[in-house]
C-alpha cells in the first residue's frame, strides 16, 4: 500500500466533509501497527454537528462520504470508522495541544486519553 496516496485521497474526502459541514474538531487515522507494518487504519472523526446524531447515524453519514468518494483500493485500508464526541478528553487534549489544518502530524506510540497507546497515528485535522 502506498500510504502517501491513501492519505492524499482521504484528505480529499475530509475536505468534502469540511466544505459541506463547515466544521470538524478532529480527524485522524489510527494504525493497527507500526508505520512500516500498518496496512489498515481506524478513521476517527469528531465534529460538533456529529454530536447531534446517534452513533450509527453519524457513522452512516461518514461511510457515505468514504464509500462514495474512495475506490476499493483505498477503502480496503479503512478497518473502522469511529466518531468521538467533541467533549471527550481525547479530542480536547489533542486540539488543545496542536492545530492541524491542511497538513499532517504523524506519530508513533502516541498516548491518547487514559493510557491508550496507539502504535501509529496520522492526525489530519485538529482544531479547537
pLDDT in tens, 92-110: 888 888 878 877 777 666 6
Residue listed under C-alpha cell 483500493:
73
Q: Which of 127, 120, 112 is nearest to 23 (CA)?
A: 127
Domain encompassing residue 77: 3-126
Structural domains counted in the chain: 1
Quickly count: other Cβ atoms within 10 Å of residue 45's Cβ.
24
The model scores a pTM over 0.85: yes
Strands 78-83 and 116-126: unpaired
pLDDT digits (tens, 9 = 90+) for 70-89: 999 999 999 999 999 999 98
Quickly count: other Cβ atoms within 10 Å of residue 102's Cβ.
10
Contact 80, 68 (CB under 8 A): no
Amino acid at each position: 500500500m502506498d500510504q502517501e496516496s491513501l492519505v492524499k485521497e482521504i484528505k480529499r474526502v475530509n475536505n468534502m466533509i469540511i466544505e459541506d459541514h463547515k466544521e470538524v474538531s478532529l480527524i485522524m487515522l489510527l494504525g493497527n501497527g507500526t508505520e512500516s507494518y500498518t496496512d489498515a487504519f481506524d478513521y476517527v472523526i469528531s465534529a460538533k454537528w456529529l454530536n447531534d446524531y446517534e452513533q450509527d447515524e453519524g457513522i452512516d453519514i461518514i461511510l457515505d462520504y468514504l464509500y462514495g468518494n474512495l475506490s476499493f483500493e483505498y477503502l480496503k485500508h479503512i478497518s473502522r470508522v469511529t466518531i468521538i464526541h467533541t467533549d471527550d478528553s481525547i479530542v480536547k487534549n489533542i486540539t488543545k495541544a496542536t492545530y492541524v489544518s491542511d497538513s499532517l502530524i504523524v506519530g508513533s506510540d502516541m498516548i491518547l486519553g487514559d493510557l491508550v497507546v496507539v502504535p501509529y497515528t496520522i492526525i489530519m485535522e485538529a482544531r479547537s
